[in-house]
Chains A and B, each alone.
Chain A
Amino acid sequence: MKKVSLEINGKKVTKEIPDHITLSSFLRDTLNLTGTHIGCDTSQCGACVVHVDGKSIKSCTALAADLEGSKITTIEGLAKNGKMHPMQEAFKKTHGLQCGFCTPGMIMSAVDLLKSKKNPSDTEIRDWLEGNICRCTGYQNIVAAVKEAASKMKS
């Protein structure tokens, strides 16, 4: 058990966290931020991707107790003042989601991609999203969403 202070979606959180609790479980079970999903137990599916200090990580691979001082953004923290992030808007526009289960992780990954690549090619998008499994969409409209968001975020 460790007392940890972190910032989650802009809010300060201080909690006693057992050593073995993953960030994904901490978000879901302790903070009730259930937008971060758990789709596997081998860090393969990517449904749990969040941003820690601005970088996308699979939150099932991090122990919450290790994250003292970190700034964490989850899918719930992406929209600002009730307005969806351009990536969220783009997923809606291009039908980049069906059942919605992989979507939060997919969006958090894609947002991170656009931080380093303002104008990614199809191949770069597909390579980047290789760690996020979607069973519904066949990925095509997800790729379209990322491109749409990239073009909106440039203008």
Chain B
Amino acid sequence: MKKIFLIILLLPFIGYCQKKIDPTPEDISKAKELRSLYDEEDIVLLESDNLITFSIEDNKVAVNNYTKEHLMNINSRSDIQKPVFYDGESEIQKFQFYYRNKKEARILSKDVSYTDNDLFHNDARVKYANVDFPTQGYTYFFESIKHTKDIKYFTSVYFTSEYPSVSRKIVVEIPDWLNVELFEKNFENFDIQKTEEQVGDKKIITYTTANIEAYYDENSSPGPSYIYPHVLLLAKDFTNKGEKQILFNETKDLYTWYKSLTEDISHESELLNEKVTALTKDATTDEEKIKNIYYWIQDNIRYIAFEDGIAGFKPDSAESVLTKRYGDCKGMANLAKEMLVIAGFDARLTWIGTKRIAYNYSTPSLAVDNHMICTLFKDGKKIFLDPTEKFSAFGEYAERIQGKQSMIENKDSFLLEEVPTSTSKKNKEYFLFNASIVNEEIEGQASRKYQGESRADFLYNFNNLESNKKQEALKDYLARNNRNIFISDIETSNLENREAEIDVKYVLKHNKAVSSFDNEMYIDLDFYKEFDNYTFEERQTNYNFAYKKDVITEMRLKIPESYTVSALPESFSVDNANFKISISLQKETDFIVYKKEFEIKNATITTSDFEAWNDAITKLNAIYNEQIILTKS
């Protein structure tokens, strides 16, 4: 604090020359009205317009995106950062704020590289300014121009933004020399007007709408291309100096460009040959050879992502990835392909959009895919290999690519193939517990088993722990960090085997599950309580799980001698297309048998499921909150 005082007192008299323009009474009442509508928001865009125009530069189609916004503060005071993102393929040509009276506001902007934690290096940048809105109803106008040098990289324009828009307009001016298709996506639930008019040598397409909410700030949501209304720009061809040039007219053109980027990657490599020989020489079957290669890459090549210009699309050579022991998805897919080819198999590069992307290859655009894998052609089948996955068994596919259309290289043409989907039953996860009550504590033999993606998930997390911390961490994990649960005598199956079921056996003791009052014991048997309070109250988007789940719990509690069961929570079950939740409590001779299953069948709970889901969770909570009562006879 003292330091700050000194600095500010040393500063010369600067920074207050800006003429602030107070909001009008109309602005203030407008702000109040909007605040009642958007009660969680500080800023609203009264108007938000984009004008998209095209020009030819260096025999490429360049795109100018003019943004005009009228920002209003609807809360008491707001301080925001206003950003415009760009990268090596684009530049910001204008970035300017204006006061209510349209006079320029001299607000300092900064231009910095934008780092993404998931990427080791990228070329993304952001120009931004810190803007303060001193009172309710205060407004600024903002204008920017983002210039993209090649239309290939200008794939879409969204109606939704960081702030709600009262009035939203997108205008696309298509000159006669350009053939671009506007593909409208997610318009169904929005009232978006479209007009088309020819003005001179331009076709002007105007979309207008009103009252668009801001981006949802929700985790585990589907990708934006599923949720928000937007227009994909599919640039087909253009004519320059009388010569027609094809852009991405059809999927084949997209493939041809992708394929061209792989043409000059070197294939010859002594090092690669040696590695393949070392990995396959002792293998007796083809499958063993393939697995040796696939698993070696999973275990030994680190995923390090680079997104810098063309490197975002062009795979690194197999030898380079092998030598460096790291690569991005393209480099790793290419390494898998080359190694398998050397080993005598038919393996090919494969482009794919993960589950985050809503499109398939019927729309030829760079927005369609974001990932590369490798396809193995064997015995008339196509088997997909994703070397960026860790502990993924041969022939099993991660949820993020299941059901997604892939584009497989096939010399000058390509093949489109969907990655097979699997069911939640393949990812079963069990918790089994044979418990008895000893000195008001519950203890007994327990085990946890994992299959499919739950297994891969477990192995990945376990093997990401420092060697000397693994055992303690495993105990904490099995106890779910509940400090009243004590784990001992752990025995496990091989925790490096990605193919067999994982089985962890142990002794579990819980010293707070039983409460005795007088001659009654109250038992809180299910101390893990998965999904308790897991309701979706104000959520607007589907909730996506990492993978399809089937989590099964079975506990058998021995009833102590001279006790009888005087109360058991009621059983409950719900089963629909997306999820199943069932709990049953039964007395079977000397045991209380508690069975519970959660099945998330399609790895998602959709917004239309929320009512049923919330109802089920409420009932689940009631059961979780109810005690088993044993009375001394």
Q: Do A and B come from one complex?
A: no
Give me the interface of A with B, judged by CB distance under 8 Å: none
Give me the interface of B with A, judged by CB distance under 8 Å: none
